[in-house]
Amino acid sequence: MSNEDTDGGIEIDEIDRRILELLADDPRRPYADIADELTTYDIDMSSEGVRRRVTSLLENMTSFFLPRPDRNNWDVILVTAQVTNEPNAKQTVFESMAKMNFWFVADGFGTFDLYGIATTRTNQEVDELLTKVRSLESVAEMDYFIETDRAVNIQKYLPVY
The reply to whether 107 and 135 lie within a common domain is yes
Which of 146, 77, 62 is CA-nearest to residue 117? Answer: 77
- The reported pLDDT for the residue numbered 23 is 85
Range of the domain at 30: 3-59
At 138, which CATH number?
3.30.70.920
DSSP class of residue 158? S
Q: Is 56 exposed, middle or buried (0-12, 13-18, 19+ CB in 10 A)?
A: middle
CA count, 13 A, side-chain hemisphere, 18: 19
Q: Is residue 73 part of a domain?
A: yes
pLDDT tens digit at each of 161 positions of the chain: 555 445 556 678 889 988 988 887 788 899 999 999 999 999 999 999 999 999 888 887 766 555 565 566 677 899 999 999 999 999 999 999 999 999 999 999 999 999 999 988 888 999 999 999 999 999 999 999 998 777 767 667 666 55
Q: CA 58 to CA 1: how far, in whole Å?
A: 13
- The pair phi, psi for residue 134, each rounded to 5°, is -60, -30
- The reported pLDDT for the residue numbered 75 is 79
Q: Is residue 83 part of a domain?
A: yes
- The reported pLDDT for the residue numbered 59 is 82
- The reported pLDDT for the residue numbered 37 is 95
At 8, which CATH number?
1.10.10
The reply to whether 80 and 110 lie within a common domain is yes
User: Into how many domains does the chain fold?
Assistant: 2
- The reported pLDDT for the residue numbered 122 is 86
Q: CA 78 to CA 92: how far, in whole Å?
A: 19
The reply to whether 73 and 138 lie within a common domain is yes
Rg of the chain taking only CA atoms, in angstroms: 20
